């Protein structure tokens, strides 16, 4: 079956990638439209060998649309995602606006696709770009030994700040490598070239950044267990695309490295890399793919019930656009959208 689709925020970094992922994955589109802010209206985008005009986001644009893939600022999402849902569409929303709403499932298809059967507001929330690969990697381990606590440090790429972040980083890197004066940052909160930035997000009152608090709250919701302790430190690193994560996970019972590797090797969406063969996940492996790469699985020498591992995924694809398209695929496969 084919369906009517709208991509909202179509000219942004994630919206543009949603369009490309729909084509790459051969999503069954009957008709498609591309919506963006008034300043982008009138531009054209290509899909399926045809050129489409970009339309302004407005209520009338959602008439007859069955699935909306949206990537806009939260304020825009809060206004228009309910309008699209009221018009009869199911919205897969990439903003943070709906993630912790109890009536909106927060879905990573490899982890909790069954939650798509509980869409009360017509909105499915697409999780944070760190929480998605974290949960893809940890779900098979949670099934093995029930996770009690997660300690995660992230190594997040410049593209997490969108196209402006990459442009900012590239300008800095060119000057830094050339030995000239490095321009002041415009998207990042400090120089990223030759540096790491531990406070590239808004600091919340609890001493954790907005990004870190998203990881805490969303991980618990996705894994369906509010009792799991999550302690994140989110860091921006001088990489263009793909986020890396150093994870230590404590279980209720001892889980061996062999058990963990066996579960990860057959887990959907996971590519397990073997360090004994010199393999280890790197951003250059993940960039441009929809996989979650896992490696360096090892026993925590300080805790018999804990393992440590290294995870990498493309933050723009699996961390955003591709996960949203996968949610749309599941809506069709499960007969939720007909």
3-8, strands of its sheet edge to edge: 44-47, 50-56, 29-36, 3-8, 67-70, 90-93, 123-125
The end-to-end CA distance of the chain, in Å, is 8
Q: Which residues pair with 203 in a beta bridge?
A: 209
Burial status of residue 44 (CB atoms within 10 A of its CB: 0-12, 13-18, 19 or more): exposed
Helix (H, G, I), strand (E, B) or coil at 46: strand
From its phi and psi, is residue 64 left (phi > 0), alpha (psi between -120 and 50) or beta?
left
Burial of 282 (0-12, 13-18, 19+ CB in 10 A): middle
- DSSP assignments along 180-222, one per residue: SPPPPPSSSSS--TT--BS--SPBPTTSSBHHHHHHHHHHHHH
DSSP at 275: G
CB within 8 Å of 29: residues ≥ 6 apart: 2, 3, 4, 5, 22, 47, 48
- Using only the alpha carbons of the chain, give its radius of gyration: 20
Q: Which two tokens stand for residue 238?
A: 């001088």
Q: What amino acid positions are annotated as catalytic residues?
A: 129, 243
Compute the distance between CA of residue 286 and CA of residue 315 in angstroms, rounded to an integer: 9
What is the C-alpha separation between 154 and 243, in angstroms, rounded? 7
């Amino acid at each position: 079956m084919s369906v009517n689709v709208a991509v909202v925020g179509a000219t942004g970094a994630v919206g543009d990638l949603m369009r490309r992922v729909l084509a790459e994955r051969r999503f069954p589109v009957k008709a498609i439209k591309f919506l963006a802010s008034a300043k982008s209206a009138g531009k054209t985008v290509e899909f399926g060998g045809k050129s489409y005009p970009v339309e302004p986001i407005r209520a009338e644009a959602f008439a007859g649309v069955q699935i909306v893939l949206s990537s806009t600022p939260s304020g825009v999402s809060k206004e228009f995602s309910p309008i699209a849902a009221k018009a009869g569409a199911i919205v897969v929303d990439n903003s943070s606006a709906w993630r912790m709403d109890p009536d909106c499932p927060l879905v990573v298809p490899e982890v909790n696709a069954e939650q798509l059967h509980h869409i009360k507001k017509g909105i499915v929330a697409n999780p944070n770009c760190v929480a998605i690969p974290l949960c893809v990697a940890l779900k098979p381990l949670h099934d093995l030994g029930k996770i009690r606590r997660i300690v995660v440090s992230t190594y997040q790429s410049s593209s997490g700040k969108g196209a402006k972040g990459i442009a900012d980083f590239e300008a800095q890197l060119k000057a830094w490598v050339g030995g000239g004066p490095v321009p002041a940052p415009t998207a990042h909160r400090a120089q990223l070239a030759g540096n790491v930035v531990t406070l590239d997000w808004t600091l919340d009152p609890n001493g954790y950044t907005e990004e870190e608090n998203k990881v805490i709250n969303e991980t618990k919701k996705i894994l369906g267990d509010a009792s799991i302790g999550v302690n994140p430190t989110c860091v921006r690193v001088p990489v263009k695309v793909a986020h890396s994560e150093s994870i230590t996970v404590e279980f209720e019972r001892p889980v061996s490295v062999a058990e963990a590797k066996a579960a990860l090797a057959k887990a959907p969406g996971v590519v397990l890399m073997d360090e004994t063969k010199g393999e280890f996940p790197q951003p250059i492996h993940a960039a441009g793919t929809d996989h979650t790469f896992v490696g360096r699985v090892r026993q925590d020498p300080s805790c018999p019930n804990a393992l440590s591992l290294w995870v990498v995924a493309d933050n723009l694809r699996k961390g955003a656009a591709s996960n949203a398209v996968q949610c749309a695929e599941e809506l069709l496969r499960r007969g939720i959208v007909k």
